[in-house]
Amino acid sequence: MSRQNKQKLELTWIGKEDRPKLEPRILLEDPSKSYHAARRVKPDAQLGEPGYPGDLFDNRLIFGDNLLALKALEAEFTGKIKCIYIDPPFNTGEMFEHYDDGIEHSLWLTQMRDRLEILRNLLSPEGTLFVHIDDNELGYLTVLLDEIFGRPNRIYTVTFKQGSATGHKAINPGCVNTTNFVLIYARSKSQWTPNRVFTARERDKRYGQFIVNIDDDYRDWNIITLMQAFAKAAGLGLKDARKAAKDDPEQIESFVLNNARSVIRTARPSYSGVSQAARDLIDESKRRPDSTFKLERNDHSDMYFKNGERILFYADKLKMIDGQYVAGEPLTTLWDDVLSNNLHNEGGVAFPKGKKPEALVKRVLDLATSPGDWVLDSFAGSGTTGAVAHKMGRRWIMVELGEHCDTHIIPRLKRVIDGGDKSGVTAATDWTGGGGFRYYRLAPSLLEKDRWGNWIISKEYNAEMLAEALCKLEGFIYAPSDTTYWQHGHSTERDFIYVTTQPLTRDMLAKLSDEVGDDCTLLVMCKSFKGKANFPNLTVKKIPKAVMAKCEWGRDDYSLAIRNLPEPEPLPGSDDEQAEAKPKKSKVLRGKRKPKPKEEPNLFATEDGSGSVKDTAKPNTSGAKGARR
């Protein structure tokens, strides 16, 4: 088969080839909504120590359309985000009951594809993406992510138990849906180095023996049953001890944890799977069943044998989980110990059906991050990701367009920073407060139309905003010099950009060329210039003409608006069909205002997992003009 005829396995849908030309907006800080603690909580002496990032103040909360916000972050954060957790709308179909499923899936996939491609760019080489989704779009999303990230970089599909088969869900026949899923992808599997995570489990009751004199020489160990040891410690008879353990299991659980070094069981080892030295001791212990034998090892814990079996210690099963030693096992792909019920008080905010447990986000961050790493959530919802990341000493970025950005997220984060939030993972992380965040809005579009329909630079842009915006558009890092007026940004150590709205003459360009010198190059973005700009170290472009074709200008909302969907066909015999059959009278509106269109639902306005909509308002940039981050 020729190279041109080769095809790849991919998911196709209506409109897949349509891609938006996104404008890389700048971000404007609103200092009135930024917030930080009144004082440093962590001592300066500890700042910078490995594993101790100190108080974090450079976290970011961004209000605006999340696709535009992700594009705005690309220039600064490409390759820098260690972990991304998103809980996008689940596309349950509740918003689309009157429309064709094929169109519904296509629109949802397009919206997700556009965001996931940017999210992949933002991830560091060793970074991880976590996508929380239900079974409605699980199959489609998996294939889409395989296409964007590469199938080899699909790490796990985790099943997350979010509830129990109780209440109204258990009334109808058939299966009760109690699970969601978390898709986990690595930016590059070859560089992916997850942390070792354990989950708490019930006590393993096979450990039913007890070494009375554990600190004596192993050859003198006296082994009795666990219940005998518990009875002796509690000062009870054996019968009463069994009743106490049954009536109040916490008593024996505490006894086992406090004496884990002495609690043991025996197990027959795999004879062919151990070393020759171990096999020799196994054989010897069978010949002398009343004696205990020890195999010393340099790189592992010592092994003990009795009567042909190995002695296993309960202490080896204990793991430090959320600040406590408990029986633990390695994290699996079934997360059934973190339920989504009883979350109404967590974080001090109400967010029905959309809030995720802080313990879930903590597990994600435990697995994929270390203190000081950047964490991103572009569907912030009630702000759970930022709250947990803050308590765990991670830097975070959240994006949200809904009104709950102000009504829910900011108050929640303030409580975290002030040390007033005692819920969620506060105790597990030993959090007492500190740090802060900066609040940003997306700047308005750089270009707007004048009254004649011509594109001009927006009147809301001052010189500083214009310079930063053009740096983003042209691929420069915005870094204005304090000493050299023509250095507004740079792409390399010798390549600079200069932005001005002043018209330039040839004499002015000649002087500028002399100042730049032979060792540097300069891109000049100006409103106009006269004469030929044939200087070897200068490239001159007119604005806005030079950037007209780069982006879609004046578009603030890239979420899914139902108004763009086709109208449903009327059912045969319905009132709508009969109404269409009647001739309609032509109406002319004279001197009357057209009726205001109804507000349409917006799929990507919130994180709400049910797909419900809280707000479709465009970002308001009033009061933030010219503010810098």
* pLDDT of 103 higher than 60: no
Which position has the higher pLDDT, 234 or 560? 234
Count of CB atoms within 10 A of residue 2's CB?
5
pLDDT digits (tens, 9 = 90+) for 547-567: 999 999 999 988 754 334 444
Token pair of 349, please?
């905010």
CA separation for the pair 65, 552 (Å, rounded): 15
Q: How many helices (H) and strands (E) does the chain have?
A: 15, 27
CATH of the domain at 348: 3.40.50.150
Token pair of 440, please?
């940003």
Residues 321 and 339 in one domain: no
* pLDDT of 55 higher than 90: no
Residues 414 and 468 in one domain: no
Contact indicator for 410, 34 with CB cutoff of 8 Å: no
In this prediction, residues 336-353 reach a mean pLDDT of 70
Provide, rounded to the nearest whole percent, the portion of the chain with pLDDT above 70: 81
Instruction: Look at 90-99, 369-378, 416-425, 597-606 and tell me which has the smallest mean pLDDT.
Output: 597-606
* pLDDT of 599 higher than 60: no
Q: Is residue 67 part of a domain?
A: no
pLDDT band at 569 (very low <50, low <70, confident <90, very high): low
Task: Tell me the three state secondary structure of residue 395.
Answer: strand
Q: Per-residue DSSP letters for 472-540?
A: HHHT-EE---SS-TT-SEESSSSEEEEEEEEEE-HHHHHHHHHHH-TT-EEEEEEEEE-S----TTEEE
Q: Is residue 73 part of a domain?
A: no
* This model's pTM is above 0.75: yes
pLDDT digits (tens, 9 = 90+) for 18-43: 999 999 999 999 999 999 988 877 65
Q: Is residue 297 part of a domain?
A: yes
Instruction: Look at 337-341, 425-429, 604-608 and tell me which has the smallest mean pLDDT.
Output: 604-608
User: What's the pLDDT score for residue 592?
Assistant: 38
Residues 239 and 307 in one domain: yes
Residue 198 CA from chain centroid, whole number: 21
In this prediction, residues 450-475 reach a mean pLDDT of 95
> Across all residues in the chain, what is the average pLDDT?
84
Residues 322 and 352 in one domain: no
User: What's the pLDDT score for residue 56?
Assistant: 84
Last residue of a domain, one of 412, 436, 460: 436
Count of CB atoms within 10 A of residue 225's CB?
12
Domain range for 113 is 80-167+174-194+331-436
Q: Is residue 144 part of a domain?
A: yes
Q: Is residue 235 part of a domain?
A: yes
* pLDDT of 581 higher than 90: no
Bridge-based pairing state of the strands 198-200 and 374-377: unpaired
* pLDDT of 594 higher than 90: no
What size, in residues, is the chain?
629
CA separation for the pair 340, 356 (Å, rounded): 6
Q: What angle do CA 167, 173, 178 make, to 5 degrees?
A: 50
pLDDT band at 343 (very low <50, low <70, confident <90, very high): low
Q: Per-residue DSSP letters for 240-288?
A: HHHHHHHH-HHHHHHHHHHTTTTEEEEE---GGGS-HHHHHHHHHHHHS
CATH of the domain at 504: 3.40.1350
Last residue of a domain, one of 547, 580, 603: 547
Q: 485-518 burial, b for 16+ CB within 10 Å, e for fewer?
A: eebbbbeeeeebbbbbeeebeeebbeebbeebee
Contact indicator for 60, 73 with CB cutoff of 8 Å: no
User: What's the pLDDT score for residue 321?
Assistant: 80
Residues 322 and 342 in one domain: no
Instruction: Look at 415-419, 473-477, 597-601 and tell me which has the smallest mean pLDDT.
Output: 597-601
In this prediction, residues 199-216 reach a mean pLDDT of 92
* pLDDT of 431 higher than 50: yes
User: What's the pLDDT score for residue 163?
Assistant: 77
Residues 254 and 289 in one domain: yes
Which position has the higher pLDDT, 306 or 574? 306
In this prediction, residues 388-401 reach a mean pLDDT of 95
Q: Is residue 60 part of a domain?
A: no
User: What's the pLDDT score for residue 171?
Assistant: 77
Identify the CA nearest to 604 among candidates 567, 571, 557.
557
Residues 495 and 527 in one domain: yes
User: What's the pLDDT score for residue 473?
Assistant: 96
Q: Is residue 591 part of a domain?
A: no
Residues 342 and 322 in one domain: no
State how many domains the chain has.
Answer: 3
Residues 306 and 238 in one domain: yes
Last residue of a domain, one of 404, 436, 468: 436
Residues 341 and 322 in one domain: no
Q: Is residue 563 part of a domain?
A: no
* pLDDT of 319 higher than 80: yes
Residues 190 and 335 in one domain: yes
Instruction: Look at 1-10, 203-212, 288-297, 587-596 and tell me which has the smallest mean pLDDT.
Output: 587-596
Residues 214 and 114 in one domain: no
